[in-house]
Structure 1
Amino acid sequence: MKRVFLLASAIMMLSFLVVDPISKKERNYAAKFLKETEKGVKDQIRGLSEAQLKFKPAPDSWSIEECVKHIAASEEMFWQMMEGTVKSPANPEKRGEIGMTDDQLIQAIGDRSTKVKTNEKLMPENLKYKDTDEAFESFKKDRDKLMEYVKGTKDELRNHVATTPVGMLDSYQLILFTAAHTNRHTQQIMEVKADPNFPK
């Protein structure tokens, strides 16, 4: 009887050691951030005319349509990067090389006062989408896939660290980066709409 009691106690102790790879708070925060930033794009482009979608404040500026195409292509690329990172062996020893907290990362990516030249492959003129609708549908498809992943993943996101253009990030931060990047270009869309010459 004593052995049975000890065995039951050991099983109970082990069950407490099986923890979620990310906390409930982290999971909910990422899911909410992804949902909000998807809605942000949708709200900003809803009801716009062809002239409004293609308007450029300056010859070297992006139109709203080009912003959406860039968002869509980036979403696909970020998903592939994140998926590749979690499929690679865990490397928690690299966590010490991460230079930003989650909040600092979101603030840095969302800061439009710092201009960043994008990867040549993600320039609007090099992308496959024929129009805004096609680009947004692609974005939504990848975003839905990422949101489902966040809600149910058992991957140890904090223990898979990758090298990115902004430094070392763990896989959870790659998800936050994805949403923050969407927010960055939603702000850009809003800037285009605020231009005094924006078609009425």
Structure 2
Amino acid sequence: MKKLSLSLLGFLLVTIAISQTTISKEERKKALSHLKDSQSNLMSLVGGLNEDQLNFKVNEESWSIANCMEHIAISEENLMGMVKMSLKEQADPSKRAEVAMSDNQLIGIITSREQKVKTRKEFEPTNSFGGFSSTIKTFKERRKENMKFVKSTDMDLRNHYIQFPFGLIDSYQGIMFISGHTQRHADQIKEIMESEGFPG
């Protein structure tokens, strides 16, 4: 009986430890919902656009819709690469206090179009996918893989971290950042479509 009690206690302690180092069902559901919704919003904007519309630029320095879409597809892989790289480090609960902002604050910052930010060279569009249809296909494949990761991961996303210029975020927030980034550029695409001179 004593052995059974000790075994049960050990099982409970392990279960508690696991529950404290994995994201909750609510967090997983929230991340998947954000990823799904941002993809849906983006696809509803770009579906059916013709070549003139895809390549229209407000001015010489601005991006076209095709450029934006390529940047999103590139970022889908690069940003998730940053998340996965962070998970190779040891979990460190002591750094939680250094996380710069809440999930909602992070989403608010990344989706806001008030402040423009120049992207890093490795995120810049260079026609790397060979056309718009290939870009869309690549984005959808990468988003599917990223959602698969979120559905199945048991990693401690809250106690691994990524350093951004605006501050430290945790790896779960890194996934939310991917979704927010998609929505940010979906809003940019909408701005292009509403600009003067956009082809009908």
Compute the RMSD of aligned alpha carbons. 1.6
Following TM superposition, by how much is the alpha carbon of 1:4 offset from its aligned partner in structure 2, in angstroms? 4.7
2:8 and 2:85 mapped to 1: Cα distance?
39
The equivalent residue for 2:90 is: 89
Superposition TM-score, scaled by structure 1 size: 0.93
SS at match of 1:184: helix
Amino acid paired to 2:30:
Y
| 2:195 is equivalent to residue 195 of structure 1 | yes
Amino acid paired to 1:167:
G
Over the matched positions of the two proteins, sequence identity in percent amounts to 38
Of 45-54 and 87-96, more deviation after overlay is shown by: 87-96
Following TM superposition, by how much is the alpha carbon of 1:6 offset from its aligned partner in structure 2, in angstroms? 2.2
Change (3 A) 1:153 1:111: same
Following TM superposition, by how much is the alpha carbon of 1:91 offset from its aligned partner in structure 2, in angstroms? 2.3
Superposition TM-score, scaled by structure 2 size: 0.93
Following TM superposition, by how much is the alpha carbon of 1:67 offset from its aligned partner in structure 2, in angstroms? 0.3
| Runs of at least 5 residues in structure 2 that lack an aligned partner in the other structure | none
Structure 1, residues 132-159: CA drift from partner, whole Å, max 9, x if none? 2111211111111110111110000001
| Runs of at least 5 residues in structure 1 that lack an aligned partner in the other structure | none
The equivalent residue for 1:110 is: 111
Of 127-136 and 6-15, more deviation after overlay is shown by: 6-15
1:44 and 1:130 mapped to 2: Cα distance?
21
2:90 and 2:36 mapped to 1: Cα distance?
29
1:179 and 1:154 mapped to 2: Cα distance?
20
The equivalent residue for 2:162 is: 162
2:139 and 2:160 mapped to 1: Cα distance?
25
2:83 and 2:127 mapped to 1: Cα distance?
21
1:171 and 1:139 mapped to 2: Cα distance?
21
Amino acid paired to 1:61:
S
Following TM superposition, by how much is the alpha carbon of 1:192 offset from its aligned partner in structure 2, in angstroms? 0.6
The equivalent residue for 2:2 is: 3
How many residues align? The count is: 198
Q: Which runs of 4+ in 1 moved over 6 A?
A: none
2:132 and 2:64 mapped to 1: Cα distance?
10
